[in-house]
Amino acid sequence: MNRKSSKKKQKTNDNKMLSWKETWQINKMALLLIHRSQSGLIATSLMPCVWSALTPYVGIWLLALIIDELSGSRRPQRLLTLVLATLISSALISLADALLKKRKAVEEECRFYYLRKITADKMMDMDFCIVDNPDTDRKLAQILQNQSGGGWGLIRAFRLMEELLTAILTLFGGIAMTITLFTSRVPDNAGTLTILNNPLFLALIIAVMLAVTYIAPLLSNKADSYYAFNSNIHTLANRLFGHYGFMGKRKEFAADMRIYRQDKLCEKYNNDKSGAFCSQGYFAKLARGPMGLYSGASGAVSVMFTGVAYLFAGLKAWAGAFGVGMMTQYVSSIVRLAGGLSSFIGTLGQTRINATFVKMLLDFLETPNVMYQGSLTVEKRNDRQYEIEFQDVSFRYPGNDQYALRHVNMKFTVGRRLAVVGMNGSGKTTFIKLLCRLYDPTEGRILLNGIDIRKYSYREYLSIFSVVFQDFTLTDLPLGQNVAAAMNYDGSLAASCLQKSGFGDRLDRLPDGLETYLSKRLNKNGMDMSGGEKQKIALARALYRDTPFIILDEPTAALDPLAEAEIYSNFNAIIKDKTAIYISHRLSSCKFCDDILVFDSGAIVQQGSHDVLVEDTAGKYHELWQAQAQYYNSQPNPQGSPAR
Ligand code: ADP
């Protein structure tokens, strides 16, 4: 890619360089965030910075004294004292340095997890509808990619702060050690070299040094900015790499990879030399072009500083302004000073670039919730008399033109069994998501005991539902903790819920009973469960919660017919006086329900009992029933045919 088009690419990027004021504010907020997430970290990290910035000057100073003594009076006693002081001080400095750094390393070990937790906590805090929005996922992925790919973000802000402090202290130490280089005078008999005493000459030397020190990091930051401000390109490249590069390693892909030779799909990506990070890719071209050029120029300019400093100190020593010991001190200190100055300017530049990435995180963390948070408490009724009503509810997913639900009207009371049936995509799961207030209706309202559910405290409202979603999640933790969704649980209740959900026999055969881990990832004695077994555990978890409403989205899809028959025959006993809502494809599973809602294209097209609905030969239910009956009639079903 030529320079013109790379410039164009930079312009098309979303990221913008922030002002210094914004940079300062964002970094301040970043440090506060880090402090809140891990309070001891800042202090523990800064101590080694202060130590390692200032202590090297002790060695430089002592070495200068030794060299001066060697080239001057050569007093054995003084030399011995100086050598001993050098040895003891460097031993003590190294000891303290190691202690401080070790302490810092231990704190930092947890830093990654604490900082990762910041985004995880935010996700938990967000309204479900925001989490479910693909935009949220994109933003979070970009933040995490910037962090793991380019190393930009909160951790970098922290590291840059450490570097800035080290640079400032190095700078002060260097100035203190070299001030006499500029103030000491060459003797008047030094001929033309007395020009070194001329304030104008001094000003010129200092100006050259400052210019060189300023330009070097400027060039290096310019090189860095090519990478930083093309983060959208390397984020995509990283994602592709993450997707293809690691597919072979993932256990859950292993079977499909073999059967469908998905490695061939990846080959195309892996062999593509023009990928963002490959030898013919965008960044490689930048590195061979402007990025490399700026980086090289920066290196060349920075050695000029050392050259000028050596020349100046050498000429002054030659002219007799100071001895060889001081020459050593000046040269060593000035190299450190130059390093400090260059690091200071470079770090400032990097801090400004990094602020753009920290801002992305801060913006993400400030994403406001949009759902109205009511304050009414949900009446805890012993008689469990709850009534739910949908009043002309319509719903569109954010960013979608199409309605997923259209004019839904229905009412049901607790204690009844309600089935929700319909083709795929007809709106069944969306109906449940609205009922659980994971989304609010676009139009219309949902009432609980006559009150709009938005007026209830959200947490309270959620607490009356247990849901087994189709794509439920279990953790790798022990079975009992999974059932109770808590670390501490009532073992006999957990076991009885597992019994009811049909997991009893399996539980009896588990080596560690309720303490069995649900995979080998956390414990080598863990057991991998089949899809059907997992579904039974999820069902037991819903029962353990003992809420007035229990909602099962395709509760038996992964169960074998015998297990399904067992669960259904016991269902009334299992759920007792709870209201149960089933979403099911198998209409035979719904026969025992008091009421059946038939969804079609986002609307309730029929409602009634099985016996009534099946008689309506023009209705959707009859159509679905017939379609399944044909299947069951031609293939004997251990559960019995649903056809009448
Ligand atoms: P069902 O449960 O009956 O299979 P859903 O309620 O899942 O149907 O889906 C109803 C409609 O809403 C479908 O057209 C589906 O594509 C759409 N839909 C479901 N979830 C989302 C989502 N998170 N974002 C956008 N559209 C969605």
Tens digit of pLDDT for each residue in 232-262?
676 677 777 777 777 777 777 788 888 887 7
Q: Which pLDDT belongs to residue 599?
A: 93
pLDDT grade for 5, boundaries at 50, 70 and 90:
very low
Average pLDDT over residues 6-30: 71
Q: Which pLDDT belongs to residue 235?
A: 67
pLDDT at 514 over 90: yes
Q: What's the CATH code of the domain at 433?
A: 3.40.50.300
Q: Which pLDDT belongs to residue 46?
A: 83
Of the two residues 575 and 352, the one the predictor is more confident about is: 352
| Same domain membership, residue 438 and residue 295 | no
| Same domain membership, residue 407 and residue 329 | no
CA 463 – CA 576 distance, rounded (Å):
18
Q: Which pLDDT belongs to residue 307?
A: 83
Pick the most confident of 31-40, 78-87, 365-374. 78-87
Average pLDDT over residues 586-601: 83
Residue 14 contacts by C-beta under 8 Å, 6 or more apart in sequence?
Answer: 232
Report the nearest atom of ligand 1 relative to the CA of 431.
6
Q: 342, 339, 336, 318: which is closest to 177 by C-alpha?
A: 336
The encoded tokens of residue 482 equal 């999974």
Using CA positions, which residue lies closest to atom 25 of ligand 1? 397
CA 253 – CA 454 distance, rounded (Å):
42
Is residue 550 assigned to a domain?
no
Distance from the alpha carbon of residue 401 to the mean position of ligand 1, in angstroms: 13
Average pLDDT over residues 561-579: 70
Distance from the alpha carbon of residue 632 to the mean position of ligand 1, in angstroms: 28
Average pLDDT over residues 514-525: 90
The string of pLDDT tens digits covering residues 306-365 is: 788 888 889 999 998 888 888 888 888 888 888 888 788 888 888 988 998 999 999 999
For 265, how many CA atoms within 13 A lie in the half-sphere containing its CB?
A: 14
| Same domain membership, residue 317 and residue 271 | yes
Question: Which of 347, 365, 383 marks a domain boundary?
Answer: 365
Residue 39 contacts by C-beta under 8 Å, 6 or more apart in sequence?
Answer: none
From 397, 420, 604, give the residue whose CB has the most ligand 1 atoms within 8 Å, as the site to mutate. 397
Q: 399, 398, 433, 367: which is closest to 140 by C-alpha?
A: 367
The string of pLDDT tens digits covering residues 462-484 is: 888 999 888 888 999 999 999 99
From 430, 552, 583, give the residue whose CB has the most ligand 1 atoms within 8 Å, as the site to mutate. 430
Is residue 387 assigned to a domain?
yes
| Same domain membership, residue 384 and residue 351 | no
Using CA positions, which residue lies closest to atom 20 of ligand 1? 430
Q: Which pLDDT belongs to residue 380?
A: 65
Is residue 612 assigned to a domain?
yes
Question: Which of 365, 396, 426 marks a domain boundary?
Answer: 365
Q: Which pLDDT belongs to residue 284?
A: 85
Q: Which pLDDT belongs to residue 644?
A: 42
Is residue 502 assigned to a domain?
no
> What proportion of the chain, given as a percentage, has pLDDT over 90?
30
The string of pLDDT tens digits covering residues 606-619 is: 999 888 998 999 99
Residue 136 contacts by C-beta under 8 Å, 6 or more apart in sequence?
Answer: 126, 130, 367
Cβ < 6 A, ligand 1 pocket: 132, 397, 400, 404, 422, 424-430
Of the two residues 470 and 495, the one the predictor is more confident about is: 495
Report the nearest atom of ligand 1 relative to the CA of 426.
3
For 15, how many CA atoms within 13 A lie in the half-sphere containing its CB?
A: 28
pLDDT at 530 over 90: no
pLDDT grade for 566, boundaries at 50, 70 and 90:
low
Distance from the alpha carbon of residue 133 to the mean position of ligand 1, in angstroms: 13
Q: Which pLDDT belongs to residue 558?
A: 62
Strands 417-422 and 579-583: parallel
pLDDT grade for 8, boundaries at 50, 70 and 90:
very low
Average pLDDT, rounded, for the chain: 84
Average pLDDT over residues 279-283: 81
Q: 217, 210, 211, 209: which is closest to 297 by C-alpha?
A: 217
Q: What's the CATH code of the domain at 44?
A: 1.20.1560.10
Q: Which pLDDT belongs to residue 433?
A: 92
| Same domain membership, residue 376 and residue 329 | no
| Same domain membership, residue 343 and residue 401 | no
The string of pLDDT tens digits covering residues 166-188 is: 999 998 888 888 888 888 999 98
Other CB atoms within a 10 A radius of the CB of residue 637 amount to: 14
Report the nearest atom of ligand 1 relative to the CA of 399.
25
> Into how many domains does the chain fold?
2
Q: Which pLDDT belongs to residue 639?
A: 41
| Same domain membership, residue 423 and residue 346 | no
- Residue 391's DSSP bridge partners are 445
For 143, how many CA atoms within 13 A lie in the half-sphere containing its CB?
A: 22
pLDDT at 207 over 80: yes
Q: Which pLDDT belongs to residue 13?
A: 44
| Same domain membership, residue 400 and residue 311 | no
The answer to whether 152 touches 224, Cβ cutoff 8 Å, is no
Report the nearest atom of ligand 1 relative to the CA of 132.
23
Distance from the alpha carbon of residue 402 to the mean position of ligand 1, in angstroms: 10
| Same domain membership, residue 346 and residue 232 | yes
Q: Which pLDDT belongs to residue 4?
A: 44
The encoded tokens of residue 589 equal 């599973």
3-state secondary structure of 626: helix
Average pLDDT over residues 156-167: 90
Distance from the alpha carbon of residue 299 to the mean position of ligand 1, in angstroms: 57
pLDDT at 210 over 50: yes
Distance from the alpha carbon of residue 15 to the mean position of ligand 1, in angstroms: 34
Using CA positions, which residue lies closest to atom 26 of ligand 1? 397
Q: Which pLDDT belongs to residue 543?
A: 92
Report the nearest atom of ligand 1 relative to the CA of 470.
2
CA 279 – CA 263 distance, rounded (Å):
22
> What distances in angstroms separate CA 488 from CA 85, 271, 517, one per listed residue?
60, 51, 15
What's the pTM value of the predicted model, to 2 decimals? Answer: 0.74
Distance from the alpha carbon of residue 99 to the mean position of ligand 1, in angstroms: 58
Report the nearest atom of ligand 1 relative to the CA of 422.
3
Backbone angles phi and psi of 483, in degrees to 5: -65, -45
pLDDT grade for 641, boundaries at 50, 70 and 90:
very low
Looking up tokens 């819903």, which residue turns up? 542
Question: Which of 336, 365, 394 marks a domain boundary?
Answer: 365
Using CA positions, which residue lies closest to atom 22 of ligand 1? 397
Is residue 535 assigned to a domain?
no
Distance from the alpha carbon of residue 440 to the mean position of ligand 1, in angstroms: 15
Is residue 575 assigned to a domain?
no
Q: Which pLDDT belongs to residue 29?
A: 94
Residue 309 contacts by C-beta under 8 Å, 6 or more apart in sequence?
Answer: 209, 330, 331, 334, 335, 338
Q: Which pLDDT belongs to residue 474?
A: 92
The encoded tokens of residue 517 equal 């881990």
Is residue 564 assigned to a domain?
no
Strands 465-468 and 549-553: parallel
Backbone angles phi and psi of 258, in degrees to 5: -75, -50
pLDDT at 212 over 90: no
Other CB atoms within a 10 A radius of the CB of residue 89 amount to: 15
Pick the most confident of 22-26, 106-110, 420-424. 22-26
| Same domain membership, residue 397 and residue 344 | no
Is residue 569 assigned to a domain?
no
> Which strands, in side-by-side order, build the sheet including 387-395?
405-413, 387-395, 443-448, 451-452
pLDDT grade for 381, boundaries at 50, 70 and 90:
low
| Same domain membership, residue 149 and residue 290 | yes
Question: For residue 378, what are the domain limits?
Answer: 372-464+580-631
Report the nearest atom of ligand 1 relative to the CA of 424.
4
Of the two residues 359 and 303, the one the predictor is more confident about is: 359
| Same domain membership, residue 36 and residue 74 | yes
The string of pLDDT tens digits covering residues 92-132 is: 999 999 999 888 888 777 777 777 889 999 999 999 989 98
Report the nearest atom of ligand 1 relative to the CA of 423.
3
The encoded tokens of residue 101 equal 């750094």
CA 241 – CA 228 distance, rounded (Å):
18
